Amino acid sequence: MITSALALLLMQVGPNPSMDAFPGLPEELRDRPERQQAPNRADPASPGQAKLADCVNLARSDAEAARDYAQNWRETAANRLELAQSAHCLGIAFVREGEFAEAQRAFDLATDEAPRTAPAYQSRLAAMSGNAAMAQGQPAIADIAFDRAVTYATQAGDGPLLASVLIDRARALVALERNDKAAATLEKARGTDPANARAWLLSATLSRRLERLGEAREQIAQAAILAPQDPAVGLEAGVIAALSGREQEARRSFESVLLVAPGSDEAKRARGYLEQLQS
């Protein structure tokens, strides 16, 4: 049997034992140059793309210089797309400096300036605004931005992008304690892009949080099929198994985390859970 101490510990881990599922700084606001450098899928050779790539790269080493670059670029921008790209990079520079309120305003400006013929780019920019709001602890404002992002992604007909922004919106809804709405949003994300492992992982996490362990087991099993080497998936699988009274299954899941990512935060947590199982 699982000890009461372990059950209590698992119940206290919150929305995700990996610490980075619903809260935290999203990947879109970290070092993701492949997405930041491809703002307009319809026109990958747009004149401003090289400038945007240069500006984003500069922001990694010198955010202040990147801000100056972006501001100067705005003064010479040839069209709406370049205006949006310059504001986009300005937002990235503010993120690098931890100025999330300023970043949010820059991303909102970029969203409004982007051509209406580039809804996928508008969706990404609106999602960046929402993520900047989340980083400030303002999920209600973030939800508005993510709703815009969903609308633009739908207009673009881009399934993977739509799933991504639906996941972002679910994070805001969880923070607002609108868990049933978040669950429905994640269900839509799974239906839109069934191969999105993160949608299944976060669905399992939320189902577990809502004590819907049967659903959680099914969802984490699908996440494991899609991302068998992801330590967050293994950790969540172990938590769900432990709370379901499946001690050996939980132990195997936690041990798998140690094998695939021994130096990770997930591994540290898995070791703690294994110690509890052994007590």
Domain residue spans in the chain?
1-19+195-279, 39-189
d(CA 141, CA 139): 5
pLDDT tier at 49, thresholds 50, 70, 90: confident
Phi, psi of 200 (to 5 degrees): -70, -40
pLDDT for 46: 65
Name the nearest CA neighbour of 273 among 247, 261, 263.
247
62-92 residues labelled b (16+ CB within 10 A) or e (exposed) = ebeebbebbeebbeebeeebbbbbbbbbbbb
Checking phi first, is residue 137 left (phi over 0); if not, alpha (psi -120 to 50) or beta? Answer: left
Q: Homologous superfamily of 1-19+195-279 in CATH? A: Tetratricopeptide repeat domain (1.25.40.10)
| CATH top class, domain 39-189 | mainly alpha
- Is the model's pLDDT at 44 over the cut of 80? no
10's CB contacts (< 8 A; 6+ apart) are 17, 239, 242, 243, 273
Same fold, 1-19+195-279 and 39-189: yes
**What are the structure tokens assigned to 38, written together?**
């491809």
pLDDT tier at 277, thresholds 50, 70, 90: confident
Name the nearest CA neighbour of 29 among 59, 54, 49, 52.
59
Q: Per-residue pLDDT tens for 50-78? A: 899 999 999 999 999 999 999 999 998 88
| Cβ proximity of 81 and 72 under 8 Å | no
- Is the model's pLDDT at 256 over the cut of 90? yes
Q: Per-residue pLDDT tens for 194-233? A: 999 999 999 999 999 999 999 999 999 999 999 999 999 9
Where are the extended beta strands (E) located within 41-180?
A: none
Average pLDDT in the 96-114 region? 96
pTM of the shown model:
0.84
Q: Per-residue pLDDT tens for 81-96? A: 999 999 999 999 999 9
